[in-house]
C-alpha cells in the first residue's frame, strides 16, 4: 500500500487532465486547427533540423522567435515573454505573481485550468458567475474584486468554452476601477474574432500597467505541437516573468520552428480565414439541422446547451467523433470546427441520435 502522507495535502483529490488519445475519424474536442502544415514550410523546418545545434541549450529569451512574433502582430519585443505554451505562463502567473493565500478571481464558465493552477499553489479562488447569457457581469465583478481583495483576475476573451466576446471598453473600465488588481486577458482565440471584430488589447498593454494579454500559437496559427505561448504586457511584467521562469523553458526546436512559421504571415492569415469559414459553416449547419441553438461564436468552435450532452458525447465517440461536453447549466456541447467532411460527419451523427 502506497503511503499517501508522502504527498502534500493540496494534492489530495487532484484529478489529472484527461486527454483521449484513441483513434477517431474526427477529433473535434481540443480547438486545434485542422489544417496540416503546407509542404514548403515543412521543408523549411527540415532544413532547421539539419543545421540545429542539439548539443547547446536554447536561448532563454527566445529572442529570434520573439522578434518574429512581434513582427507578426506589430509589437515591441520588450513587451513580450515566451512560455512553454500559454499553460506554463498561466501556471507561473499563479505561482509567482500572487502572494500565498491571497485571492484570484475567475469567471464561470471559463477555461478550467485557471482555477486549477491557482488552487494548486494555495491561492483562494473567487468564482464570479456569468450572466444567464454567459456574458461577464462587470458590476458583480467589481464588487467581488473589492470585497475579496482580489489580486489577479483572469479570463479568456473570446471565451473558451462559450465562444462569446466581451467589449474592450467594459474590460478597460473595470481595470481602471481596480488599479491594484492584475487583469489577465487570455486572447487565445482572438485571431478568429479579429476578422469580425477588434476587441483585442494586444497593442494597448503599454497604456495599462495592470493589464496582461496572453497569446498562443496553438489555435489559429495551427502549431499546438510546438507548445508556444506568449505574455504581452508592460515591460516590468515581462522582465519579472523572465526572472521567475526556468531559464530554458522553451525548447530550441520549438523556438526555431515557431520563428519559421511566424514569418509566413500571408499563409497564416489564409489559414485563419479558412478556420473561420469552416466554423461559420458548422455553425450554420447546426442551426439549420435543428441540432442545437448556439449563440454567435468568435472562435473556431460552436457551443450550445444540451440537456443530453453526456449521452450525445458518448454516442458520437462510439461513432468515431470526439467532442467536448460540459456540465454547465444542465449540460452543453462544444464542437471544434474541422474539415468540411468532419463537420458533415458530426452533424450527420448528431442527427442520428435518438431522443
Ligand atoms: N487559454 C485558453 C483559453 C485555451 O483554450 C487554451 C487551450 N485549450 C490555452 C489557454 C492553452 O494554450 P496552450 O496550448 O498555449 O498551452
Strand 301-305 with 332-336, pairing: antiparallel
pLDDT per position as a tens digit, 307-328: 999 999 999 999 999 999 999 9
In the predicted model, what is the mean pLDDT of the chain? 95
Report residue 304 CA to chain centroid gap.
19
Helix (H) or strand (E) holding 229: strand 228-232
Instruction: Decide if pLDDT at 108 tops 70.
Output: yes
Confidence at 165, pLDDT banded by 50, 70, 90: very high
Over residues 98-125, the mean pLDDT reads 95
Nearest CA to 250 out of 28, 45, 92 is that of: 92
Find the 281 Cα to ligand 1 centroid distance in Å.
24
Q: How confident is the model at residue 196, as a pLDDT?
A: 56
Quick one: CA torsion of 87, 91, 93, 95, rounded to 10 degrees? -170
Find the 354 Cα to ligand 1 centroid distance in Å.
34
Strand 124-129 with 150-156, pairing: unpaired
Tell the burial category of 189 from Cβ atoms under 10 Å away from its Cβ (0-12, 13-18, 19+): buried
Q: Is the minimum distance from the CB of 272 to ligand 1 under 6 angstroms?
A: no
Give the whole-angstrom CA distance, residue 321 versus residue 343: 10
Instruction: Decide if pLDDT at 113 tops 80.
Output: yes
CB 302 within 8 A of CB 337: yes
Nearest CA to 42 out of 222, 188, 171, 195 is that of: 222
- What is the model's pTM? 0.97
| Protein residue with least CA distance to atom 6, ligand 1 | 188
Candidate from 159, 160, 303 with most ligand 1 atoms within 8 A of CB, to mutate: 160
Intervals of CATH 3.90.1150.10 along the chain: 19-36+266-354
Q: Is the minimum distance from the CB of 86 to ligand 1 under 6 angstroms?
A: yes
pLDDT per position as a tens digit, 204-227: 998 999 999 999 999 999 999 999
Q: How confident is the model at residue 9, as a pLDDT?
A: 86
Rg (CA), the chain: 21
Q: How confident is the model at residue 17, as a pLDDT?
A: 85
Instruction: Decide if pLDDT at 60 tops 90.
Output: yes
% of the chain at pLDDT higher than 90: 91
Strand 80-84 with 228-232, pairing: antiparallel
CATH label, 39-264, candidates 3.10.20.30, 3.40.640.10, 2.70.98.60, 3.40.50.10860: 3.40.640.10
Candidate from 216, 301, 326 with most ligand 1 atoms within 8 A of CB, to mutate: 216
Q: Is the minimum distance from the CB of 29 to ligand 1 under 6 angstroms?
A: no
Identify the residue with better confidence: 228 or 8: 228
Confidence at 195, pLDDT banded by 50, 70, 90: low
Give the whole-angstrom CA distance, residue 246 versus residue 244: 7
Residue 94 neighbours by CB under 8 Å, 6+ apart = 104, 117, 118, 120, 121, 123, 152
Over residues 44-69, the mean pLDDT reads 97
**Domain 19-36+266-354 part of CATH 3.30.1330.10:** no
Q: Is the minimum distance from the CB of 218 to ligand 1 under 6 angstroms?
A: yes
Over residues 149-169, the mean pLDDT reads 97
Q: Is the minimum distance from the CB of 111 to ligand 1 under 6 angstroms?
A: yes
Q: Is the minimum distance from the CB of 85 to ligand 1 under 6 angstroms?
A: yes
Intervals of CATH 3.40.640.10 along the chain: 39-264
Q: Is the minimum distance from the CB of 91 to ligand 1 under 6 angstroms?
A: no
Counting DSSP H helices and E strands in the chain, the numbers are 12, 12
Instruction: Decide if pLDDT at 16 tops 90.
Output: no
Residue 346 neighbours by CB under 8 Å, 6+ apart = 26, 28, 282, 316, 321, 323, 335, 338
Q: Is the minimum distance from the CB of 79 to ligand 1 under 6 angstroms?
A: no
Confidence at 10, pLDDT banded by 50, 70, 90: confident
Give the whole-angstrom CA distance, residue 40 versus residue 22: 30
Instruction: Decide if pLDDT at 117 tops 70.
Output: yes
Over residues 184-196, the mean pLDDT reads 89
When mean pLDDT is compared across 1-15, 262-276, 323-337, the lowest value belongs to 1-15
Residue 213 neighbours by CB under 8 Å, 6+ apart = 184, 185, 186, 187, 200, 201, 202, 205, 231, 232, 233
Q: Is the minimum distance from the CB of 216 to ligand 1 under 6 angstroms?
A: yes
Instruction: Decide if pLDDT at 4 tops 70.
Output: yes
- From the alpha carbon of 216, which atom of ligand 1 is closest? 15
3 state SS of 96: helix
Amino acid at each position: 500500500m502506497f503511503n499517501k502522507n508522502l504527498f502534500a495535502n493540496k494534492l489530495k483529490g487532484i484529478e489529472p487532465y484527461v486527454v483521449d488519445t484513441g483513434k477517431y475519424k474526427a477529433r473535434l474536442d481540443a480547438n486545434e486547427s485542422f489544417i496540416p502544415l503546407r509542404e514548403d514550410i515543412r521543408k523549411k523546418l527540415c532544413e532547421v533540423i539539419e543545421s540545429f545545434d542539439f548539443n547547446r541549450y536554447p536561448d532563454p529569451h527566445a529572442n529570434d522567435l520573439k522578434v518574429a512574433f512581434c513582427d507578426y502582430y506589430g509589437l515591441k519585443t520588450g513587451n513580450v515573454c515566451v512560455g512553454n505554451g500559454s499553460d506554463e505562463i498561466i501556471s507561473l502567473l499563479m505561482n509567482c505573481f500572487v502572494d500565498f493565500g491571497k485571492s484570484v478571481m475567475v469567471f464561470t464558465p471559463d477555461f478550467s485550468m485557471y482555477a486549477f493552477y491557482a488552487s494548486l499553489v494555495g491561492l483562494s479562488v473567487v468564482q464570479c458567475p456569468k450572466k444567464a447569457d454567459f456574458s461577464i457581469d462587470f458590476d458583480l465583478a467589481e464588487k467581488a474584486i473589492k470585497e475579496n481583495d482580489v489580486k489577479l483576475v483572469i479570463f479568456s476573451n473570446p471565451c473558451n468554452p462559450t465562444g462569446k466576446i466581451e467589449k474592450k471598453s467594459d474590460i478597460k473600465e473595470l481595470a481602471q476601477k481596480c488599479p491594484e488588481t492584475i487583469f489577465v486577458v487570455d486572447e487565445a482565440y482572438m485571431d478568429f474574432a479579429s476578422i469580425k471584430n477588434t476587441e483585442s488589447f494586444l497593442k494597448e498593454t503599454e497604456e495599462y500597467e495592470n493589464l496582461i494579454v496572453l497569446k498562443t500559437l496553438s489555435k489559429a496559427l495551427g502549431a499546438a505541437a510546438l507548445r508556444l505561448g506568449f505574455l504581452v504586457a508592460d515591460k516590468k511584467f515581462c522582465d519579472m516573468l523572465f526572472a521567475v521562469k526556468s531559464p530554458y523553458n522553451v525548447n530550441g526546436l520549438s523556438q526555431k520552428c515557431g520563428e519559421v512559421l511566424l514569418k509566413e504571415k500571408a499563409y497564416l492569415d489564409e489559414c485563419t480565414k479558412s478556420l473561420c469559414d469552416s466554423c461559420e459553416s458548422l455553425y450554420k449547419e447546426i442551426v439549420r439541422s435543428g441540432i442545437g441553438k448556439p449563440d454567435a461564436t468568435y472562435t473556431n468552435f460552436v457551443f450550445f446547451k444540451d440537456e443530453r450532452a453526456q449521452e450525445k458525447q458518448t454516442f458520437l465517440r462510439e461513432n468515431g467523433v470526439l467532442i467536448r461536453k460540459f456540465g454547465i447549466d444542465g449540460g452543453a456541447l462544444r464542437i471544434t470546427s474541422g474539415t468540411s467532411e468532419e463537420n458533415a460527419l458530426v452533424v450527420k451523427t448528431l442527427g442520428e441520435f435518438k431522443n
